[in-house]
Chain A
Amino acid sequence: MYTKATQVEIETVRMLFRRFIRDKASHKEIAQALVFIQTAEGREMYAELMDQEFLKMEFEDDFFSNRHIKRQFAALERKIDYTVQESYVNTSLN
């Protein structure tokens, strides 16, 4: 059980995270939020809020064209191939 003061602090941080997620946080608040998120409690709290917000999210599919996504996929394939090649070279050397 948290003390009343701690409970208030928790609520303040939660509010800060919520403001960040909902694009309401100022520059200074975002910097503060990023410091809190470094702690285990902060990370856990942000993760909980991510789950809550996820349930409300409406996904708009108009971010990119299929062409852009295919280009991104080609970049990912190059990365995969490069990783495979690197690991093959490393194995051969050992």
Chain B
Amino acid sequence: MALQNFSEMPEDELLSLLVEGNRSAFKELYIEYYRKIYAYALKFTKSTQLAEDIAQEVFLKVWEKRQSMSDIRFFKGFLFTVCKNITLNVLTRAAREIKIKSLILTGAQKFHVDPENKFQNEEYETLLNKAIEQLPPQRKLIYKLVKTEGKSYDEVAEQLGITTGTVNDHIVKATRSIKDYLLWYNITLTI
């Protein structure tokens, strides 16, 4: 019997083999869709552990119902529908089951976008840029090369044909100037 290359096989052929109980075809479909199903479950549960469990449950259902897969016209749609139902079941249980609830709450914390914090960070960035912009040209250039581009004092000194001591002097004065500028806004320099 010729060896079958499952990774290059069209989906409908893989599905036909799945109906017959072919594990390799099942594996290929699993590899193809696992990430998407996981991402979907994660989006609506916020928990990586729940998302993994849900994804496994979805494919377990596919295997159990493999004999009826020949009736499925749109496999991807079928997978997402099963995933949606399992996700809803898990979420429905969350209010009663402490473990699920805690997984969702812990997971959600990782994704949570705090608008106030985000605004403060953006505001800080804007003011810091303004503070840098008001530096004299040479000092601004040296400050950006060291602080933004991450170059060493020696590299900057060599690049600009000045001594390391001069670079250091510019950085000290630039930092002091930026600190003073930010203090007007009650902000402390954090870099």
Interface residue ranges, A against B (CB under 8 Å): 20-27, 30-31, 34-35, 37-38, 43, 46-47, 50-51, 53-54, 57, 59-61, 63-64, 66, 69-70, 72-73, 75-77, 79-80
Question: Is B6 at the interface (CB under 8 A from chain A)?
Answer: no
User: A27-B105, A30-B108 known; A59 and B84 CB under 8 Å?
Assistant: no
Q: Are A72 and B56 in contact (CB-based, < 8 A)?
A: yes
Q: How far apart are B96's CB and chain A's nearest CB, in angstroms? A: 8
Question: Is B63 at the interface (CB under 8 A from chain A)?
Answer: yes
Q: Which residues of B contact A35 (CB under 8 A)?
A: 95
Secondary structure dominating the interface of B:
helix
Count of A-B residue pairs with CB < 8 Å: 96
Secondary structure dominating the interface of A:
helix
Give the number of residues in B that approach A within 8 Å (Cβ atoms). 37
Q: How far apart are A8's CB and chain B's nearest CB, in angstroms? A: 23
Q: How far apart are B48's CB and chain A's nearest CB, in angstroms? A: 9
Q: Are A79 and B104 in contact (CB-based, < 8 A)?
A: no
Give the complex CA separation of A60 and B40 in angstroms: 11
Q: Give 29 CB contacts A-B under 8 Å.
A: A21-B44, A22-B113, A23-B113, A24-B113, A30-B108, A31-B101, A31-B105, A34-B94, A34-B101, A37-B92, A37-B95, A38-B96, A50-B44, A57-B39, A57-B40, A59-B36, A61-B36, A63-B39, A64-B34, A64-B35, A64-B38, A66-B31, A69-B30, A70-B31, A72-B56, A73-B27, A73-B31, A76-B30, A79-B60
